[in-house]
Amino acid sequence: MQNEPSMFLSFVSNLVLVARFVHFPVMITAFAAALGLRSLVYYTVKRHEWFAFEFEKRVGRFLKREDARKTQDVSFYVVSKKLLEATFFEVFENREKLQRRRGDNVMSFTDRVFLVKQGCAWIVHDLLKQIRFLRYGGQPPKLQSITRNVFSKNPFFNSILGFIPTEKTNEILNILPGLFVIGGIFGTFLGVMKGIPELSGMDLNDPEKTKIIMDRFLVEVAMSMGSSLMGIFFSVCTTLLNTWCSPDRTFAETTERFEASLDLLWNYAHSNEVPADNQPFNEHRDPLEALAEASLNQELAKRKSTRDMEDDPSPKVA
């Protein structure tokens, strides 16, 4: 029984020594990992925004071009499919042109690591699968819910490097500033715990020895206070980084941008008919072939519309 206090003190002393030895390396490593993971999470979510921005541009061009023609019997599914396919093939054809100039004929490093092409193909596939069953007329569809569902379930854009869950990583990074403060306080207590037992060796009858012990204790406390300062500094840096590179805000803006584009197409369309000869989206097609076919179909449709207007026997209003 008498050995229990000494064993406990010995255990605490050894624990303090080990903790103090690994405390600073762990905090510095955690801070470096937080910077890297935050950048990866933000870049992964930005892939959503990039594709949504490209789609929005093409929707705007299409509606501006179609405003003068007032095409009749436009299917929401058909026009959405054409614009999604055009967005996909055009952006990756442009990227491939740039890569050919740089000597890489396959894909860029970021495309390989972040699975950009596969993630964009998933968006097109999943969105077309859901919008084809919408009923035109009556209440407008919940396009925002559909968009959020498509983006949130994207397996390629919801994981970092293909295997680290983005959502869980983001939640941990959000609480990391508080953990750094706790870690700094923990380091301060470790220094105090190590210095207090040494005060037992003070002898008021020996001023020189007492001064040496007190000086050593003050040095330990000063070093332990540095741990709190480091924790506060890391906490402020990660808080600013989390605010500046907020994936939650970027994701919300992306879904709103994409939903707004779909809403414009829905209001422009007259139905949601799916053609009987509808061809499924094939992301493995040659982009040049797909874009050439789309341009040919567009030109044929334009000529057909012009011919129908010339053959229309209805009188022209002066």
- The per-residue pLDDT for 4 is 57
- The per-residue pLDDT for 295 is 45
Nearest to 262 by CA among 159, 142, 115, 85: 142
Nearest to 255 by CA among 52, 71, 23, 44: 52
Relative orientation angle of helices 3-66 and 207-244, to the nearest 10 degrees = 20
Q: Work out the average pLDDT over 284-310.
A: 48
Distances (CA, A) of 298 to 74, 133, 167, 304: 14, 25, 41, 10
Torsion of CA 208, 211, 217, 220, to 10 degrees: -90
Q: Work out the average pLDDT over 247-272.
A: 88
Measured CA to CA, the distance from residue 118 to residue 111 in angstroms comes to 9
- The per-residue pLDDT for 236 is 93
Question: Which residue's structure tokens are 């069953």?
Answer: 133
Return the minimum-mean-pLDDT range out of 13-22, 91-100, 184-193, 212-221.
91-100
Query: Is the entire prediction scored with pTM above 0.75?
Result: no
Give yes or no for residue 302 having a pLDDT over 60. no
Residue 284 main-chain phi, psi, to 5 deg:
-90, 0
Q: Which residues have CB under 8 Å from 186's CB, separation 6+? A: 19, 23, 227
Give yes or no for residue 274 having a pLDDT over 50. yes
Give yes or no for residue 102 having a pLDDT over 70. no
- Compute the mean pLDDT over every residue in the chain, rounded to the nearest whole number: 75
Measured CA to CA, the distance from residue 134 to residue 108 in angstroms comes to 37
Res. 317 pLDDT band, cuts 50 70 90: very low
Res. 235 pLDDT band, cuts 50 70 90: very high
What are the DSSP E strand ranges found in 170-315? Answer: none
Biggest CA-to-CA distance, the chain: 121
Measured CA to CA, the distance from residue 152 to residue 147 in angstroms comes to 8
- The per-residue pLDDT for 105 is 43
Provide the H-helix boundaries in 67-108: 76-102
Residue 306 main-chain phi, psi, to 5 deg:
-65, -40
Give yes or no for residue 187 having a pLDDT over 60. yes
